[in-house]
Structure 1
Amino acid sequence: MLMSQADRVSQADRVPLSVLDLSPRSEGASAGDALRNTLDLARRTEELGFHRYWLAEHHLVPGVVSSAPAVVIALVADATTRIRVGSGAVQMGHHTAVTVAEEFGTLAQIHPGRIDLGLGRPAVDRLFAPANGGGPPSGSQQPVAASGGAAPGRAATVVDGLLLPVPPRMRLNADRLRRQFALVGYRPGAGDEYGQQVRDIQAFVRGDYRTAEGEHLTVPAAEGADLQIWVLGSSPGASARTAGELGLPFVANYHVSPSSVLEAVQAYRDAFVPSESFDRPYVMVSADVVVGPDDDTAAELASPYGLWVLSIRSGQGARPFPSPAQAAAHPWTEEERTLVADRVETQFVGGPATVARKLETLRNVTGADELIITTIAHDHVDRVRSYELLAGVWH
C-alpha cells in the first residue's frame, strides 16, 4: 500500500523502532507453533529495518511461550544476522546475578555487539499485605486488593494527545500467586536486592567483582562481554532510580502501565548520572500496536485484545490469544470492561498512517529516543503484516 509523503512520519521523529515479542500462543496453536512464529517474525523484522528484537519472560501462563529468554534469544540470534537481540526483561526475583551474567555473557561472547540484557525488578512484594513481611502470605485463601498504581481519586488525563488512563483496582488470589511464584524460584523481598544485583552484573562484566569480604571472583563467560545492560520499569520507583544512578538506558512500559509512564521517565532523567556508556539519559518507551491496511480491519484484528487482557487481570494468567469471533461472543459485564479499559484504550490500533501518528505522539510527549512495539494477533500472518505496514510508513 503506497503512502503519501504527508502520511509518513517526519524525518525528525523517525526514532528507531524495536520489537518486543512474548512468543504468544493463539487459541488452537501449539508452543512449537509459537516459537517457530517468533523465529519467522525475527527474520522478517530484521529485513524491515527494526533495531532490536527482545523476548519477554513470563511463567505458568497458557498463552505465552517466552519463559526462558536466554534460550530463545540464542535461537533468534542464530536465525538472524544484524538485529540486536535481548530480554524484555529478565525477572530478577527468579534469578541470581551470577546466573544472569553467565547466560548473557555466553550469548554476547558468541554474538558480540548484538546482545541486550534488559533487567526487570520484581513488583510482586507490593501485591501482598504488609503484615506478611513484604512477601507472599503463607496460608491466606482470600484475594487481596492490589492497586494498579493509581493514587486515590486520580483521574485520566490527556497530555498533548497522549492518554494517561486511570489504572484499575484488581483483586488477586494471594495463595495462588504464592504457589506460582514459589514454583519459579521467587525469593520474598527480592525487590530490595535489585539495585545491588544490577551492580553485581556490571562488575562481573567488567571483571572487578569483589565480595563483602574483599574476595575477587570472576565469571569467565561474562568478563569483557560486549553486552548492553538495560533497566525496565513501570513506575517512578527503584527501577527508574537505579537506571539513572548507574547511567544505564531505561525502558518505560507504556504498554503495561500507561498511567505512570511520564512519571517513570522523569524519575529516570532526574536521577541520571553520566556513565562511560551513556553521557545523557536514553529512553525507550513500549507500546501495544496493531496495524491493518485500514482502520476498520485493524480494529477487527485487535478486537480479541480486551478478552486476552481480562484473562490476565482476573488472575487466570494470559490465555491463548482468542480469535475475533471468540471475542465477539464474550458477554462483557461493565466490571470487566472497567478492569481492562486502561490497556484497551491505550493500544494503538489503525491503518498505517493512524498508528504512525499515535506513535509520533507517544514519542513527542515522552521524549523517547526509541520505541519498542509489541503486536499480538490471532493469526501469525496478520502479526507479521502489522510490522510490515508500520515499517512502510516509519522507515
Structure 2
Amino acid sequence: MSVASSAPAVLIGQIAAATERIRVGAAAVQLGHTTAVAVVESFGILDALHPGRIDLGLGRSGQLRREAQNAPVAAPQPRPWREVDGVVVPAPFDTAAHLRRPRLSARMSALQQPQAVAPDFADQVGDVLAMLAGSYRIGDVEAHVVPGEGADLRPWIFGSTPGQSAKVAGLHGLPFVASYHITPATALDAIDAYRAAFTPSAHLARPYVVLSADVVVADDRGTARRLAAGYGNWVHSIRAGDGAVPYPDPDRCEPLTSEQQELVKDRTATQFVGDPDEVAARLHTLQKATGADELVITSVTHRHADRLRSHELIAQRWTR
C-alpha cells in the first residue's frame, strides 16, 4: 500500500510495453495476499505479450505478518551491532512487535478477504512451479493453467531472514534475493541459509545470490547527504504504521526525536550515501563480503530527477 509497485503485474506490463530488450520483473509478488493460480495467469499473460523478458519474484510477507500476529509475545533477544568484513550488521529490528501494531494490523486487514488464511509459502511456491511446468494436480486430477503453463518466466525467491524463504529457494534450486536494504541485520544470515539448502535444479547448477542496497549518490558527499536527509522520516512513517508516505522534502522535514531515531537507526546506518567513489567502494565491499552475484540498488529521493542522477552517477562509476 502507498507504493508504485503495489500492483506488480500492472506496472510490469507498462514498463515492458515501453521498452524492447530489458528484463522486467516483480520484487516481489507477496503470495500470502493472492493465489498461485492468479499469479501464474497474470504473469503468463505478461510472458505472452513480452516473451522471455519477465521475471517472477515471489515473497512471503503475507504469511510473515500472520505468524507475527499469532505468535506469543516474547522479549526480543538482544544482539550487538557488528561488522562482517567491512559490512555493517546492526542489531535486529523487532519485526514481530512492529507487525502487531494496531494501526498496521488494520491496514493489513484490507489486503485479504475476511478470515482468509493463506496457504503455506512453500506449498504456494511448489504450486506456482508445478503450474508453470504443466504438472500441477489437485488430488488425482490434473489441472492446467492457461495462460501460464509453459511460460518462459524466470522465477526468483525474495527473503530477509535465514528462515523459510531462503530454504525454499535453495531446495527448489532457484535464485535468491536478500534484502539488505530492508533487513540489514539478517540478510547475510539469509544468504548463508540459502547456500546451505541449495540443490541443483533445471533452473540453476549452483546458488545465485542477489543482494539489495539503498543508495543515494550525488556529485559530492554534502549534496548526497542532504538528499538522503528525509530517509529516516520516511522509514519511520512505515514502522509507525502510517504506510509509505510521500518521500519528505529534505529541506522541510522535521528532525527525528531520539526515540524515533532509535526505531530506524538500523536502516539509516546501512544506507549507502555519498559521492560516486565513496559509494562504489562500499558497494564493492558489500559484494565481496557476501559473494553476491548481483547487487540491486534502490534509491529513494524527494525529486525524481535526483533519483535518476543517482542511478546515472553510480552506473558510470561502476563500469570503470
Q: TM-score range by the shorter chain?
A: over 0.9
For 1:125 and 1:172, locate their aligned partners in 2 and report how far apart those are by CA, in whole Å. 9
Mark the runs of 5 or more structure 1 residues left unpaired by the alignment: 1-58, 132-144
CA contact (8 A) 1:274 1:280 kept: yes
Tell me the residue number matched to 1:43: none
1:368 aligns with 2:296: no
1:152 aligns with 2:73: no
Structure 1 counterpart of 2:124, which letter? Answer: Q
CA contact (8 A) 2:65 2:99 kept: no
Tell me the residue number matched to 1:28: none
- Which SS does the other structure have where 2:142 is aligned? coil
Tell me the residue number matched to 2:137: 210
CA contact (8 A) 2:68 2:100 kept: no
* Identical-residue share of aligned pairs (%): 49
Match for residue 128 of structure 1 among 69, 74, 80: 69
Deviations 1:61-113 (A, max 9, x none): 3xx23211100000000111111100001011111000000011111122112
Tell me the residue number matched to 2:304: 380
Question: What is the CA-CA distance between 1:174 and the residue it aligns to?
Answer: 4.1
Tell me the residue number matched to 2:50: 111
- Which SS does the other structure have where 1:373 is aligned? strand
> Residues 146 and 167 (structure 1 numbering): CA distance in 2 closer, same or farther, change over 3 Å?
farther
Tell me the residue number matched to 1:177: 104
Deviations 1:279-337 (A, max 9, x none): 0000000000001011111111111101101111111111110111122xx14221111
1:392 aligns with 2:319: no
1:73 aligns with 2:9: no
Question: What is the CA-CA distance between 1:173 and the residue it aligns to?
Answer: 5.6
Q: C-alpha root-mean-square deviation of aligned residues, in Å? A: 1.7
Match for residue 190 of structure 2 among 264, 269, 287: 264
Match for residue 90 of structure 1 among 11, 23, 29: 29
Q: Which runs of 4+ in 1 moved over 6 A?
A: none
Deviations 1:159-189 (A, max 9, x none): 1110001133455564433432232116765
> Residues 180 and 153 (structure 1 numbering): CA distance in 2 closer, same or farther, change over 3 Å?
closer
1:1-395 to 2 correspondences below 5 Å = 59=1, 61=2, 64-122=3-61, 123-130=64-71, 152-169=77-94, 171=98, 174-185=101-112, 189-190=117-118, 193-212=120-139, 214-327=140-253, 330-395=254-319
Bigger shift: residues 318-327 or 154-163: 318-327
TM-score using structure 1 length? 0.76
CA contact (8 A) 1:252 1:284 kept: yes
Question: What is the CA-CA distance between 1:274 and the residue it aligns to?
Answer: 0.2
Structure 2 counterpart of 1:155, which letter? Answer: P
For 2:141 and 2:313, locate their aligned partners in 1 and report how far apart those are by CA, in whole Å. 54
> Residues 178 and 311 (structure 1 numbering): CA distance in 2 closer, same or farther, change over 3 Å?
closer
For 2:67 and 2:221, locate their aligned partners in 1 and report how far apart those are by CA, in whole Å. 39
TM-score using structure 2 length? 0.94
- Which SS does the other structure have where 2:260 is aligned? helix
CA contact (8 A) 1:282 1:369 kept: yes
Question: What is the CA-CA distance between 1:146 and the residue it aligns to?
Answer: 8.7
Question: What is the CA-CA distance between 1:222 and the residue it aligns to?
Answer: 0.7
- Which SS does the other structure have where 1:258 is aligned? coil
Structure 1 counterpart of 2:24, which letter? Answer: V
- Which SS does the other structure have where 1:102 is aligned? helix
CA contact (8 A) 1:173 1:315 kept: no
Mark the runs of 5 or more structure 2 residues left unpaired by the alignment: none
For 1:366 and 1:208, locate their aligned partners in 2 and report how far apart those are by CA, in whole Å. 36
Number of positions where the alignment pairs a residue of Structure 1 with one of Structure 2: 314
Question: What is the CA-CA distance between 1:127 and the residue it aligns to?
Answer: 2.5
> Residues 236 and 118 (structure 1 numbering): CA distance in 2 closer, same or farther, change over 3 Å?
same
Structure 2 counterpart of 1:319, which letter? Answer: V
For 1:230 and 1:323, locate their aligned partners in 2 and report how far apart those are by CA, in whole Å. 34
Tell me the residue number matched to 1:137: none
CA contact (8 A) 2:69 2:99 kept: no
